[in-house]
Amino acid sequence: MRKAMIKRKTSETNIAVKLNLGGSGKSKIKTGIGFLDHMLTLFAKHGLFDLEIKASGDLEVDRHHTNEDVGICLGQAFAKALKDKKGISRYGFCFVPMDESLANARVVLDISARPSLYFNKPASIKGDCEGYNIQDAKEFFKAFAGNSGINMHVDIIRGEDTHHIIEAVFKAFARAMKDAVKIDKRVKGVPSTKGKL
């Protein structure tokens, strides 16, 4: 079973994450940031991951520490659940449309052990949704990529509604991760000519 449990406690946050890569999309998310809870719930649903996250943080200061530390813990949970990465598909990509645009968000990723994030959006996209904005999403994915060992490209192609834009990104992230972590029985060892990821 590819499962992981991560706990992280600092002077700013206290976070516990449980992840099952072979789940059915069940989730129980409580970060204290309502919009992030919504995004992680749909991430679990569309990725078919069973996911529990319980987080408390210094939200009286702002949402930055909690948002970032949840990304850190989720990234660590994926890295731990993937173990030695034997047999995984490794790559994932997905386009997701949301209402006002045909191609709103694209996520392309590689479970390479060479973490990086490339996050591109039109300068015209601004605003927030329930206090959560595009910069918050970027910081979440930066923390996730850095702690999961994933090379990740997020492209927001177009859109007007901030809720739709961020939701499209999280759904594309879910579908790309679902494809990348799945086991391909034809893959012997790790999917790399180096013999290691």
Q: Is 102 part of any domain?
A: yes
Give the closest residue to 192 by CA, choosing from 115, 108, 109, 86. Answer: 86
Say how many domains are in the chain.
1
Q: Domain containing 128: what range?
A: 3-181
Please indicate, yes or no, if residue 114 is contained in any of the structural domains: yes
Tell me the whole-structure pTM to 2 decimals: 0.95
The CATH code of the domain that includes 16 is 3.30.230.40
Q: What is the pLDDT along the chain (197 residues), one digit of tens a residue?
A: 899 999 999 999 999 999 999 999 999 999 999 999 999 999 999 999 999 999 999 999 999 999 999 999 999 999 999 999 999 999 999 999 877 654 478 999 999 999 999 999 888 777 788 789 999 999 999 999 999 999 999 999 888 888 989 999 999 999 999 999 999 999 998 989 888 88
Query: Would residue 163 count as lying in a domain?
Result: yes
As beta bridge partners, residue 173 has none
Q: What is the pLDDT of residue 100?
A: 62
Confirm whether 187 is domain-assigned.
Answer: no
Position 142 in a domain: yes
Residue 21 lies in a domain: yes
Residue 128 domain-assigned (yes or no): yes
Residue 191 lies in a domain: no
